[in-house]
A and B are shown apart, each in its own frame.
Chain A
Amino acid sequence: MSLKRTDVLLCCGSGCVSAGSLKIKSKLIEVIEQHGLSSEINIIETGCMGPCDYGPVMLVYPEGIFYKKVQVKDVEELVEEHFLKGRPVKRLMLKSEDTIFQTKKDIPFYKNQVKVALENCGYIDPEKIDEYIAMGGYEALGRAVTEMNPEEVIDIIKKSGLRGRGGGGFPTGLKWENVKNSESDQKYVICNGDEGDPGAFMDRSLLEGDPHKILEGMMIAAYATGANYGFFYIRAEYPLAIKRIKNALSQAKEYGLLGNDILGSGFSFDAEVRTGAGAFVCGEETALIASIKGERGQPVSKPPYPSESGVYQKPTLVNNVETLGNIATIINKGADWFASMGTATSKGTKVFALTGDVKNTGLVEVPMGITLHDLIFEVGGGMVAGKKFKAVQLGGPSGGCLTADHLDTAIDYESLREKGAMMGSGGVIVMADNNCMVNIAKFFLEFSLDESCGKCTPCRVGLKEMYTILENITAGKGRSGDIEKLENLGKTISGTSLCGLGQAAPNPVLSTIRYFRQEYESHIEAKSCPTCVCLDLMHFDIDKDKCIGCSLCAQKCPVNCISGSREEKYTIHQADCIKCGNCQEVCPVNAVDKISGAAEKEEKLNSVAELYQ
């Protein structure tokens, strides 16, 4: 570790990297060298710190000062003012209306979080095993393999109440016990790092930000279940995660933490990385196993469960990245400590990827049982300026949408499911009132439709039919009875599909029908999209009282369907309007409105010239 006076932690999670953190790093090195400070200042590349929206972000210790949106041009000022003269650069610090948050600890985004899985993420250099060990890394493994027998390890995990973070919420200790009890000469452990939900990056951040912790969790799981070989299944779109895990594996090998007779305990273990080609369904454990075996990635019926017959028909433990990320901490701090957080049925913490119309988007880890309200309005900082909360989608593309009425819901597996949403892998999309829920449902369904493996009928064909109905509804071709058809199809697909993809895919539709039925009705019966999102069910109109006759809209209209004069004001000829929205954008007095409902189309004119006659 550093013996230098200042540590600069630069977030090199994928979000910050794409925002330019690597350029900042080289600039930092350059400027620090120029000032002859190289021996005093330590630059550490860390994994994701969480508040991706503010990236690239940087933390400077010992003060703990948090900088946001750092640009290359800010580097000189940072070095000269802060690192040299000790005067933190205020303009790069996070502020709310009147206060500047001096240090990370003061920032509300962090204040309500409890980091277990993410404890080292954004704090250590994930490419250095020494930093992980300095944070207490591999202690849990050492204790497990030298002081405990597998039953004792399983017992701790069972008592902790940890449940699978990959979506299903299956009790982890019980799953381990099942694998342990399966007799076989060979067993495997798989770390499921497929993470296919659009917008989710919890697992990626963990793999990138603290790879050794996931490896340690996997090894403890292997010891407890009797496995001696592991697979990290990571999608090819996560090259950094793959690199970091490979790096972690070779470092651990070098340190004798991986291989034969680990720490003299007699326990042997090795692991490799397998890359997935990016099909969402390959996150489903049986499809994942097929993919590892080189077969077409599609699920098979359970039973037999992977715990009895998995990779090469051998008992196989499949755990999610975040699940494994909790293991070492639970062994170190004890089952009771972990179980003290959360609700009766859901213990510990959960990592969420907050996205959508909230102020602080990014990665957060909060105790189970936190209310949706606190997650969105405290940790998330509330809605972005000027927007009103309408709904929150939980559980990824096949999760459900909840409304303002549900903000008091405490987040746990059961209460979410009961209300038609689900924990899923932890995607949280916050939506403001300009979102059309029918359109949102269609959007999510389209994802599942595209990702369906096509193996079973309800999902392969049924989703297509649901999607067609939604397409019709949003295009103004909805017919009465469509809602009931959707409900009927949705329930059948949920009830009869082979795997979780098809079983959950109708959720966004069913939950939006449940909570926003009137929106569907207005699309179908009144041919009107209340939020003016569905272009066939809205129109633009110029408010004559506001229009000042400047003609800007007419000039910008690509199809010349606006006519008028300074005196008469301007009018949109609806029959030709392609709803591009240019007129609304350019109008200096906001006279162009979006109006729900299709316009009464007047007769189509033959030429623009006719307009001016």
Chain B
Amino acid sequence: MPIFINGREFELKPGETVLEVALRNDIYIPHLCFHPKTGKAGKCRACIVEVEGRRGLLTSCNLVAEEGMKVVTDSKQVKDAQKIIVDLILSSGHHDCLSCEQNGNCELQDAAYYLGIERPSFDLAPAEIETDNSSEFIFVDRSKCISCGRCVEGCTRTVVNEVLNFANRGFETRISFDNELPMGESTCVQCGECVQLCPVGAIIDSRMIGRGRTWELEKVETVCPYCGVGCKLEMHVDRQKNEIIRVTGVEDSPTNEGMLCVKGRYGFDFVSSQDRITTPLIKENGKFRAADWAEVIPYVGKKLKAIKKEFGSDAIAGLTSAKVTNEENFAFQKFMRSEIGTNNVDHCARL
């Protein structure tokens, strides 16, 4: 038997929650703490629904879907309560969407829009905006934090760095790095998983600030150029300036499930660096000059042959890079062994 959501029938997979069935079928239920990777938290309470025969409102993110269940996500009772909840969240922070980097890519904004909340009704925002830009790549604005806990969960259980947690309790609850240290002084490794998971603009990439709205940037899916793990990532590119603005992990990639390391996520400025070598160089009279591949390849071949002849194969060593593909590395060692005739071949091994 299927499950009924707002009168429509849906098949359910074993173990799925009502929220998961709904989202899979493009039925939106506001949800701010649930994330497929960090799982149900039951914290935000925005995902409440009604179920026929059950008393009161139930959070759909931790309600296991059952056959024959009749769920209503859009009754007046549900929406009124959701509206108060989302309004409370919105009212307890400084949400100035106009200048927020997350504008257009914000789950709180989505929920408020869905519920028709124009502006917060309650006056609960902290008197002062508290930001933390002490770390290299990540900017924290606690006045936008909605205490959803995804960053904490991600840092603790997904990437197991155990830097983030909640400090204090009740209305004073706040995210904390180690023991309330500035992020830059904490043991944070700047992996950016928290940025990836934050539904709002509370933890963001500091280098993207002011460099383009999310809808202006082109998203290009690619593989991380660094190590052999091959994490799938998405580059957010400003085509006009031909610049990469930010990098995010791709959640549905089986290799990395959205996770990236500090290099993959933040080490992309070399791409457009002025210092980057873009042509082969030949050193003449102690000085490099630019050359092209057509000139360089025969030149190198000639030199290698000469050395091999005079000093033997083992006078030559080859070093390759972790940034190239396995196939390229394979070809290179093959070349060193069978063409040059030496086992002197290595790899930088790390980045």
Contacts and interface: CB of A to CB of B under 8 A. Distances in A.
Interface of A: 279, 281, 296, 298, 300-301, 449-458, 460-465, 468, 488-489, 492, 495-498
A453 B170 CA distance: 5
B188 interface: no
B155 to A, nearest CB: 14
A468 B48 CA distance: 26
Contact of B89 (A451, A454, A461): A461
Contacts of A281: 169
B43 A455 contact: yes
B91 A495 contact: no
Given A460-B171, A465-B91, A492 B84 contact: yes
Contacts of B84: 458, 462, 488-489, 492
B40 A301 contact: yes
Interface string B111-149: 000000000001110000000000000000000001101
Given A461-B91, A497-B45, 5 more contacts: A456-B44, A461-B89, A492-B81, A495-B57, A498-B43
B80 to A, nearest CB: 8
Contacts of B56: 495
B85 A460 contact: no
Contacts of B45: 456-458, 496-498
Interface in B149-173: 149, 165-166, 168-173
Contacts of A464: 92, 124, 170-171
A450 B173 CA distance: 11
A453 B167 CA distance: 10
Given A301-B40, A449-B171, A465-B91, A460 B166 contact: no
B168 A457 contact: no
B249 to A, nearest CB: 27
Nearest to B84: A492
A451 B42 contact: no
User: Across chains A and B, which 4 residue pairs bring their CB atoms closest together, nearest first?
Assistant: A454-B173, A301-B42, A452-B170, A461-B88
Given A301-B62, A468-B124, A496-B85, A457 B165 contact: no
Contacts of A296: 165-166
A462 B171 CA distance: 9
22 contacts: A279-B169, A301-B62, A451-B169, A452-B169, A452-B171, A454-B169, A456-B43, A457-B46, A457-B89, A458-B84, A458-B88, A463-B171, A464-B92, A464-B124, A464-B171, A465-B88, A468-B123, A488-B84, A492-B80, A492-B81, A492-B84, A495-B81
Given A461-B124, A488-B84, A496-B85, A453 B46 contact: no
A463 B170 CA distance: 9
Contact of B170 (A450, A492, A498): A450
Interface residues of B, number: 33
B59 interface: yes
Contacts, number: 95
Main secondary structure of the interface of A (DSSP, over half): helix
A449 B88 contact: no
B310 to A, nearest CB: 69
A447 to B, nearest CB: 11
By CB atoms of chain B within 10 A, which of A450, A457, A460 has the most?
Answer: A457
Interface in B254-285: none
Contact of B169 (A453, A456, A463): A453
Nearest to B88: A461
B170 A460 contact: yes
A85 B91 CA distance: 75
A451 B124 CA distance: 18
B157 to A, nearest CB: 12
A169 B173 CA distance: 31
Contacts of A279: 169
A504 to B, nearest CB: 14
Nearest to A279: B169
A495 B57 CA distance: 7
